[in-house]
Amino acid sequence: MLNRYPLWKNLLILLVIIIGAVYALPNLYPENPAVQISGTRGSIEITDSDLNRAEQALKQAGINVVQASLENNTGLIRLLADDQQLAAREVIQASFGEKYVVALAQAATTPEWLVNLGARGVNLGLDLRGGVHFLMEVDMDAAVKQQLEVTASEVRATLRTERLRFRKVSVENKKVVVLLGSADDVAKARRLLQIDRKDYIFQDDAGVLSLYLNEQAIRDLEDYAVDQNLITLRNRVNELGVAEPLVQRSGRNRIVVELPGVQDTAAAKRILGATANLEFRLEARRNAEVFDTETFEFRDQPNRTAVLERDIITTGNHVANASVGFDENNKPQVNIRLNGQGGRLMSQATQSNVGRSMAVLFIEHKTRNRLVEKDGERVEVREPYTEQGIISLATIQSQLGASFRITGSGSVQEASELSLLLRAGALAAPIYFVEERTIGPSLGQKNIEQGVTSIQIGLALVVIFMLAWYRVFGIFACVALTANLVLLVALLSVLGATLTLPGIAGIVLTLGMAVDANVLINARIKEEIYHGGLSPQNAIHAGYERAFATILDANITTFLVAIILFSIGTGPIKGFAVTLSLGLITSMFTSILVTRMLVNWVYGGRRIERISL
């Protein structure tokens, strides 16, 4: 029958709208300001007593707590206002100490039944929602020292290969010091080492050969350290699944990281700030020289120690992939695959050392606050320090290749974090948190309100025009326009897209595009009645059929522009392109199918003489 949809099509359209309304619903529930408490290591658990201690500390500081709860081994404390977050974090951090991470967060208030359906609110960008801002500083002195340590290890290997006796090779005061037996040995060592070390300045004095990095090499090393840390931090942010993050260099040795609307900011801070790396070393022989060895404690057994060689077989920098697994005793382990260079180094080192023990040394750079005297006053300064501990010491049963496993990681969560850090890449130099703060809307709250108001005003003006000009058909268009907005918000929520202020502009443009389609349809129906001489029923049918090609052409060209903007744009431009392209899809559905369904309900299936258009 003319202008009648079958029952299944009506039910399908209604089902899509209902599902869209359900998945758009979480956006009506605002988030609460909160702070999160977690351990610096995955093995540290947060308990109810820890939450009680935090609540008592906040109560004494005059900060009201809305609710405290445990979620995935993380303590979440909800607060009344955003301006209480920083003060609450400082109070809890002072109470708990350095073994815990206290970070700023936003706690969702979405009802549990919606959460169980997988419904969530739209991710808002920094300009709308704000987020967490980290200012991180790369330790340039440590970067230079790390390079000198590598050079010292290479020097030892070269001198041993050439059978040139030396007493000591060490790193002292930003230089590699080689202590040899005589002046002749110094001259031979200098000629030998200068061949492949053009970046070093050599000085010899009374049996001592010193190697300094030249100024250009230091600058290149510092640039490399910052650039490599940028890449690693971006990889870690991607592993965390943060939408639209900002990771960029700031000045000579600082990096800015902005994470909009992250849910687990404590984990983000722990993962970003962790400078964990691995070193693989052989256990020292009993008759080894003292200068060639170092003594380390075991990470989980401080009373147990082992003496290791200073020479490093390879490091976490050569890890190509890392994943969590379980050994034959069902204990967590980290499965490691080295890249080509790392695999060769491991193979060469283990080939001639079968039966000896090899240690996996876990290295982590941290900071702590310390009170010092300055100008007669006690001031708090940030002091970097390094924790080193053995996590595994096992006998080499056979020559190892690029793939092997390490045990001793403790809990599954700790093994997961270690594999994540290794998979994302090791930092080229230690990095420390200099500043942490919440980001307010970058364009100002007033501009944000104006952006939302623009949608409301635009929608109101469109409704008034459509009602005045097209009457009943204007009502159909307005209902479809509302459904379009609901479906668009639902799609943004389900896909996890990030909404920014330019994204709001894309929504406003989408509303215009949606109503434009109905204008074309209604104008075509009028033309078919007044100039084509068709009956109202035939005019409605012809209007939708003949306007479809024009609507499709207009939307396809706009969609192509959106794709180009998304492919070559960055940040906010991509946000605009995403909302525009999704809006085109929803507007095609609502302006054609939803309005046609409403028209069919009112005018379809019966003979009519005139329509309100």
Predicted confidence at residue 513, as pLDDT, reads 76
Q: Tell me the C-alpha distance between 298 and 148, whole Å.
A: 25
DSSP 365: E
Answer for the pair 346, 281: CB distance below 8 angstroms, yes or no.
no
Higher per-residue confidence, 19 vs 291? 19
- Rounded Cα distance between 32 and 30, Å, is 7
For residues 332-356, average pLDDT: 84
With a cut of 90, say whether residue 18 has pLDDT above it: yes
Task: Tell me phi and psi for residue 169, to 5 degrees.
Answer: -130, 115
- Tell me what pLDDT residue 438 has: 64
Pick the CATH number of 32-107 from 3.10.20.70, 3.20.20.450, 3.40.1350.10, 3.30.70.260: 3.30.70.260
Report pLDDT for 11.
Answer: 92
Q: Could you tell me how far CA 89 lies from the centroid of its own chain?
A: 22
For residues 119 and 117, what is the distance between their CA atoms, to the nearest angstrom? 6
Mean pLDDT of 277-305: 83
* Pairwise CA distance, residues 20 & 488, whole Å: 8
* Overall average pLDDT of the 457-482 stretch: 85
Phi, psi of 182 (to 5 degrees): -150, 170
Pseudo-torsion of CA 65, 66, 69, 72, nearest 10°? -100
The answer to whether the beta carbons of residues 606 and 4 sit under 8 Å apart is no
What's the pLDDT score for residue 43?
A: 64
Residue 17: pLDDT band (50, 70, 90) is very high
CA-wise closest residue to 316 among 342, 298, 294: 342
pLDDT 10s digits, 379-388: 767 676 778 8
Contact 147, 451 (CB under 8 A): no
The pair of structure tokens assigned to 239 is 């592993």
Same fold, 141-218 and 276-409: no
d(CA 171, CA 178): 9
pTM of the model: 0.58
3-state secondary structure of 588: helix
Q: Residue 16: which pLDDT band, with cuts at 50, 70 and 90?
A: very high
Distance CA 537, CA 2 (A): 7
Q: Which of 236-245, 434-443, 553-562 is predicted most confidently? A: 553-562
Q: How far is CA 7 from the centre of its chain?
A: 46
Residue predicted with more confidence, 333 or 424: 333
Domain boundaries, the chain: 7-26+444-603, 32-107, 141-218, 276-409
Distance in angstroms (rounded) separating the CA atoms of residues 21 and 27: 10
Query: 276 or 291, which is more confident?
Result: 291
User: Does pLDDT of 108 surpass 90?
Assistant: no
Q: Does domain 141-218 have CATH number 2.60.40?
A: no
Measured distance CA(525)–CA(48) in Å, rounded: 68
What gap in Å lies between CA 27 and CA 29, rounded to an integer? Answer: 5
Q: What is the mean pLDDT of residues 447-456?
A: 75
Question: For the purposes of burial, counting CB atoms within 10 Å of the CB of 172, is it exposed (0-12), middle (13-18) or buried (19 or more)?
Answer: exposed
Percentage of residues of the chain with pLDDT beyond 90: 4
Alpha-carbon span 441 to 438, nearest angstrom: 10
3-class SS string, 234-254: HHHHHHHCCCCCEEEEECCCE
Task: Indicate the fold that domain 276-409 takes in CATH.
Answer: Gyrase A; domain 2 (3.30.1360)
Q: 591, 554 in Cβ contact below 8 A?
A: no
Going by DSSP bridges, is the β-strand pair 123-124/498-499 parallel, antiparallel, or unpaired?
parallel
Residues, the chain, total? Answer: 613
Domain 7-26+444-603 adopts which CATH fold?
Multidrug efflux transporter AcrB transmembrane fold (1.20.1640)
d(CA 238, CA 240): 5
Res 243 pLDDT > 60: no
Average pLDDT of the segment spanning 5-20 = 90
For 39, phi and psi rounded to 5 degrees? -80, 155
Give the model's pLDDT for residue 219.
Answer: 87
Question: What gap in Å lies between CA 98 and CA 273, rounded to an integer?
Answer: 13
pLDDT band for 413, please (50, 70, 90 cuts).
low
126 vs 521: which has the higher pLDDT:
521
552's enclosing H/E stretch is helix 536-568
pLDDT of residue 432: 78
Using pLDDT thresholds of 50, 70 and 90, give the confidence band for residue 21. very high
Q: What is the DSSP string of 323-345?
A: EEEE-TTS-EEEEEEE-HHHHHH
Closest C-alpha among 41, 105, 101, 44 to residue 76 = 105
Beta-carbon contacts of residue 576 (< 8 Å; ≥ 6 apart)? 500, 502, 503, 505, 506, 565, 569
Give SS3 for 569: coil
pLDDT at residue 271, as a whole number: 65
| Rounded CA Rg of the chain | 33
Rounded (10°) CA dihedral 531, 532, 537, 540: -70
Q: How far apart are CA 276 and CA 568, in angstroms?
A: 35
Mean model confidence pLDDT for the chain: 80
Burial class (CB in 10 A: 0-12, 13-18, 19+), 423: middle
Tokens of 537: 């029923």
Residue 386: enclosing H or E segment and its boundaries? strand 377-395
pLDDT at 408 over 60: no
Q: Which two tokens stand for residue 522?
A: 């209604």
**Quick one: average pLDDT of 571-598?**
86
